[in-house]
Structure 1
Amino acid sequence: MLSWLTKYSETKSALGDYLGASEALLHLHAGLLIFFLSSLLFRRRMRSVEPIGLVYTFAIGNELIDVLTPNYVANAFGALFDILNTVAWPTLLFLLARRRLLRG
């Protein structure tokens, strides 16, 4: 299992290096991609809880994988920042889509 975690971490780093993107930018794009693709693939509207729930699940799961990866330097603030980067824009889009529902 540890080799899988290490491979996942190395792949994320390699993707960032290849694209020339910071980790924060990768988190931002991953959150939006998960949100949009889950809406399309599961045929749910963006105001539905399934797409946003999947974004939160992936964001928290990714940070758990990071914590379990060997040689990970524990940084609670960094993990929280990564989660916020991943969920911020999808959450705003979700709330915007639900705006009409909340007004009645």
Structure 2
Amino acid sequence: MNLPEYYHSWITWIGDGTGAPDAILHIHAGLAVLLLTRLVSGRSLGTFIPFAAVVIAEAGNEIMDYLVYGMRWADTLSDVANTLFWPLVISLGVRLRPMAARDWNRR
């Protein structure tokens, strides 16, 4: 078994084990990668470093899907949207939030 097929069997095992639909798994995976990268790197969500890790992880996932299934645009676009939406919203929210008065005084 080659790496893409092994990866796919592992992803299928997760889906079968949780019973969650693929879309929900993508949402959870995106948020998990975002928060784990935040914790490991120590970088704020507003720096977009954690979001970049989500983008890289999703690109890797879609490359593996491509190697197993070939190009399936509808599935790929849906997966990308589900994985990136909330991490992007959270990153933008943290980046664009108004600075608290106590933080303003520390500048």
The alpha carbon displacement at 1:74 in A equals 3.2
Taking structure 1 as reference, are residues 73 and 64 closer, same or farther at Cα in structure 2, changes over 3 Å only? closer
What CA distance in whole angstroms lies between the structure 1 residues aligned with 2:23 and 2:45? 23
Cross-structure match for 1:88: 85
Residue type at the aligned position of 1:6: E
The percentage of aligned residue pairs carrying the same residue is 33
Runs of 4+ in 1 over 4 A off after TM superposition: none
1:18-46 superposed Cα distances (whole Å, 9 cap, x missing partner): 00111111100000000001001000111
Q: Which runs of 5+ in 2 are unaligned?
A: 99-107
Residue type at the aligned position of 2:75: G
Q: Return the index of the structure with the highest Cα Rg.
A: 2
Q: How many residues align?
A: 98
What CA distance in whole angstroms lies between the structure 2 residues aligned with 1:48 and 1:36? 13
Cross-structure match for 1:63: 62
Residue type at the aligned position of 1:66: D
What CA distance in whole angstroms lies between the structure 2 residues aligned with 1:57 and 1:9? 18
What CA distance in whole angstroms lies between the structure 2 residues aligned with 1:24 and 1:41? 26
TM, length-normalised to structure 2: 0.86
Cross-structure match for 1:12: 11
The alpha carbon displacement at 1:81 in A equals 0.7
Q: Which runs of 5+ in 1 are unaligned?
A: none
Is 1:97 matched up with 2:100?
no
Cross-structure match for 2:72: 75
TM, length-normalised to structure 1: 0.88
Q: Describe the SS at the equivalent of 2:45.
A: coil
Residue type at the aligned position of 1:88: F
**CA root-mean-square deviation:** 1.3
